[in-house]
Amino acid sequence: MRVLGIDPGTGRCGFGVVEKNGTTITPVNYGVIETYKDQSDLERLNIVYEGVAELIATYRPAFMGVETLYFNTNITTGIKVAQARGVILLAGYRQNVPIIPVTPLQVKQQLTGYGRADKKQVIEMVKRMMHITKKIDPDDAADALAIGLTAIYRVEHKNWTSGG
């Protein structure tokens, strides 16, 4: 089973393609779709949309795990992330890829067993579970791999409803 994990963002949108064969889970590819502050909001959203659409076309995931929004004290940032998440969901929808919404709490609980785990603990579990020895850089890519792993577990336990 191949899953595309996405950590939505407009400046950097993390992605992680995760493959599960039997009990083995491996990273196929991970990184970020990057945009720049001097680009218009529409240019940035289009880059994110096209980047995700290209990842879907290239890797043909069975599912996409996309992080849900959480409360953000910076309203402007929250709106921009919501817009990015919208074009990400649209890219999946247009290519008929089921969307598995994943909350930050679900990631922490699934990968560490503790809902208040910090980012470092989550990243260490991702590296351990996928036998990654080098640093995963940037953190957005590590987050996307964690989202992909969590999506796999949710699919295996039928603990999700498609829709984003």
Q: Would you mind telling me the total number of residues written for the chain in this entry?
A: 164
Q: Residue 164 in contact with residue 66, Cβ under 8 Å?
A: yes
Query: What residues are annotated to the active site?
Result: 7, 67, 140
The span from the first CA to the last CA of the chain, in angstroms, equals 19
Residues 6+ positions from 145 with CB-CB distance below 8 Å: 5, 16, 18, 27, 30, 126, 130, 136
d(Cα 75, Cα 46) in Å, to the nearest integer?
21
Cis peptide before 101 (omega within 30 of 0): no
